Structure 1
Amino acid sequence: MRPFTYVRAQEVGEAAGQPGRFLAGGTTLIDLMKLDVERPAQVTDITALPLVDIAEHGGGVRIGALASMAQVADHPLIAARYPALRNALLAGASQQIRNMASMGGNVMQRTRCPYFRDTSFTACNKREPGSGCGAIAGHHRKQAVLGTSDACVALHPSDASVALVAYGAILTLRGPDGEREVSLEDFNLLPGQTPHLEHDLREGELITAITLPAPPAGSGVYLKVRDRESYEFALSSCAALLDVQDGVIRAARVVLGGVGTKPWRSPEAEAALTGQPATRETFENAARRALAGATPLEQNAFKVPLTARVIVRALLAAQAGEAADGHGDGQTADQGGRA
C-alpha cells in the first residue's frame, strides 16, 4: 500500500469536495489499495457522517448511504416491501462483510476481473486506459455477455444493485456544487471505449442516500446461481418483479446480474411480458428477448442458456408469489450451465 493523506470528516458538507477516495466500510477500497490498483493521494474517512438511517420517504424508503448491507437486509420496511432487495443482500458476500460493507460502497464496488485486480497483467483498459483487455483472449469464464465492447468484458459484481435497479432506486449525490439525484440504472456506465469511466460520479461527490419509490404492485424475487452455495459472485442472477391480475401480466421488471457490464435491465423482456398471459411460454419468450443481444466469448457462452433458465425460474417464482431465498434454491452451476 502506498502512502496517502488521511482525513476524517465529521459533516457531509466537510466531506463533499474532498479529493481522492472516500472510506466507508472499506471492504473494496482497502483491498484495491493493498493490491496497488487504487492509489489515492488522499483517503477521506466518512464513517462518522450521519448517513445510516432507514426511514419511510414519500411512500417509499430512504436508505442512508452508510447503512450496512446487514442493517438494510434486516430492516422490517425492506423485508415487507422490497423482498427482492433483501434476498439480494443476503445472497451477497459473508455475514461478516455484510456487517461492514455500506450500501453506498456496494453500489460503487468495482469488478473482480483478475486482469483488473492483478497488476502483473499489463493489459487492462479499466485500470490503464489504452493497454488492452487481457480477459478477451485470456480467462473470461465469469465475465459479461451483455453490454460488452472490444475494450472490456468486465462483469459488474453487485447483487444488491440488480434488485435496486429493479425497484427504480434513485441515488442522492452531494458534491462541492450541491446536491443532485440520478437513477441507479443511469448511474452505471457501459464500457464502450472508455471502460475506466464506470459511473456518473463527479470529482468530490459522494453518495449520501439511496431512495426506493413506493413498491410496485405484485411480487418480486431475486434468484442467484453460482459455482458454490455461499460467498461467491453470481454466474447468473435475476431480479423479477411481476404484477399479475386475472392471469394477465399487468407490469413487469426484469434485471439481470452476473452477465452484464452493469446491472442489466431488459426492456425487451418487460415488453414481451406486459399484457401477455402469465405462462411458461410467455416467460421463455421474454428470456429469449432479454438475451438476444448477448455477445458471449468461448468460455462464457454457457451463460446464455443458463440465464434463460434463471429468468424463467425467477418469473415463475414471482408469479407464484414465492419469497425466493436469493440463493438459487441452493443450486450451483457447472461450466456447462446446468442449474
Structure 2
Amino acid sequence: MDAITYERAADVAGAVRAVQQPGAVFIGGGTNLLDLMKGGVERPVRLIDITHIGGLDGVTTLPDGGIRIGALVRNSDAANHALVREQYPLLSQAFLSGASSQLRNMATVGGNLLQRTRCAYFYDTAFSQCNKRVLGSGCAALEGHNRMHAILGASPQCVAVNPSDMSVALAALDAVVRVNGPAGERSIPFAEFHRLPGDRPDVDTTLRPGELITAVDLPPPLFSAHSHYLKVRDRASYAFALVSVAAALQMDGERVQTARIALGGVAHKPWRASAAEQMLNGQPLTQAALTNAAAAALRDARPLADNRFKVQLAQRAIVRAVNQAAGRAGGVA
C-alpha cells in the first residue's frame, strides 16, 4: 500500500503553496481521483483537501448579468440552483445527465472540469500501451476495441474522449474558467481550457503547474428560452455518452439569430460545431438547412473500426437537439 499524506487547506493561497510539494494534488469531491488511485493510474503521495476553503461553494450574480459558479459547488446543487435552472437550463440539463444522483451529490464543478477520460485502456494498467498514462508507450485503442472513442480532433497518439456532460454545455455557453496559481489569478476562455491530444495526450488542459480552479463564469443569459441538452447512451442512467449535443439558440420567429452547438463523446475535448453554427446563423430554421449544417459539423470526422456509427448518430443528434431547442417535435432526421 502506498503511503499518502493528507493536508487540509484553509484558503486558496495556502492550497496553491501546499500543492507545490512533490507528488501533491488537490482533492475535492474525489469521485474521479479516488477511482484513479484505487486502480493505480494516479499515485499521489500528498492530498491537499480544498473542500474547506471558504467562498468557493456559492453561485452569485456578476455585474454584467452573468453568474459565477464556485469550483466547490456540488453538481447536484448547481443543477438545482434557481439561477442555473431558470437562466441556464442547458447547463442544468447537462448536470442532471451526468453520473448518478449519489455521485452528483459529491462531485464538484471544478473536479468535473478535470475528469480524466474513461477509456478502458487508460483505466486498466494491465494494458501497457497508453500514451495518456505513459507517454511514448502507444495507443492500444487504435487497433483495439474503440466503439466509445473519438471521431474528431484525435491524433495517432490518442483517440480517447472527454467524459464530461457539464463541459459540453459550458462550451456552448462560452464559459470562462477562473484559476489561481503561483503567478496569481487568470481567466481561461472555455474553448482554450481543454486540449486536443496532439503529441502530448498526457496533458488534458491548459492549467499551469500549481493552479487551482476557483470558479466558472457564465456570460449574461441569451439562450434560456431555446436550449436543449441531448445525451445518447447505451442505457438511461449512469452511462457515458456515445454522442451528446448541447444546442442553444436565439430565435427571431423561425429565423436563427445565433446558434451555439457543442458535441460530447466525439473528441478529446468538448467539440464546438462552428461550421454548423455559421450555416444556421441568420437563416430560417428549415429541416434542409439543419440537415446540411449537421453534415458540415461531421465533415472532418475520422472514425475508427468500431465507431463509424457515431458519424451518422452525431448528425441525427444535432438535428434532434436543435429542433428541440427551437421548441419543435424534433424527431431524428
The answer, yes or no, to whether TM exceeds 0.5 is: yes
TM-score w.r.t. structure 2 length?
Answer: 0.95
Unaligned runs of 5+ in 2: none
Shift of 1:264: 0.3
What is the identity, as a one-letter code, of the residue corresponding to 2:191?
E
What is aligned with 1:72? 78
Shift of 1:321: 7.2
Q: CA RMSD in A?
A: 1.6
Shift of 1:5: 2.1
Aligned pairs (5 A) from 1:155-170: 155-170=161-176
TM-score w.r.t. structure 1 length?
Answer: 0.93
Residue 228, structure 1, aligned to residue 235, structure 2: yes
Q: Secondary structure at the match of 1:198?
A: coil
Partners in 1 of 2:34 and 2:328 — Cα distance? 40
Partners in 1 of 2:137 and 2:183 — Cα distance? 34
Partners in 2 of 1:47 and 1:246 — Cα distance? 46
What is aligned with 2:98? 92
Aligned pairs (5 A) from 1:125-164: 125-164=131-170
Contact 1:89 1:159 in 2 (8 A): yes
1:109 to 115, 123, 130: 115
What is the identity, as a one-letter code, of the residue corresponding to 2:154?
T
Partners in 1 of 2:187 and 2:4 — Cα distance? 30
- The farther-off stretch of 211-220 and 104-113 is 211-220
Aligned pairs (5 A) from 1:22-61: 22-50=26-54, 51-58=56-63, 59-61=65-67
Partners in 2 of 1:2 and 1:55 — Cα distance? 40
What is aligned with 2:244? 237
- The farther-off stretch of 1-10 and 260-269 is 1-10
Partners in 2 of 1:179 and 1:85 — Cα distance? 25
What is aligned with 1:318? 325
- Same amino acid, percent of matched pairs: 50
Shift of 1:137: 0.4
- The farther-off stretch of 25-34 and 14-23 is 14-23
Q: Secondary structure at the match of 1:70?
A: helix
The runs of at least 4 aligned residues of structure 1 exceeding 3 Å deviation read none
What is aligned with 1:333? none
What is aligned with 1:260? 267
Residue 123, structure 1, aligned to residue 129, structure 2: yes
Partners in 2 of 1:216 and 1:253 — Cα distance? 11
Partners in 2 of 1:246 and 1:113 — Cα distance? 43
What is aligned with 1:335? none
Q: May I ask how many residue pairs the two structures share in their alignment?
A: 326
What is the identity, as a one-letter code, of the residue corresponding to 1:185?
A
Partners in 2 of 1:129 and 1:6 — Cα distance? 28
Aligned pairs (5 A) from 1:270-309: 270-309=277-316
What is the identity, as a one-letter code, of the residue corresponding to 1:144?
A
What is the identity, as a one-letter code, of the residue corresponding to 2:319?
V
Partners in 2 of 1:280 and 1:67 — Cα distance? 39
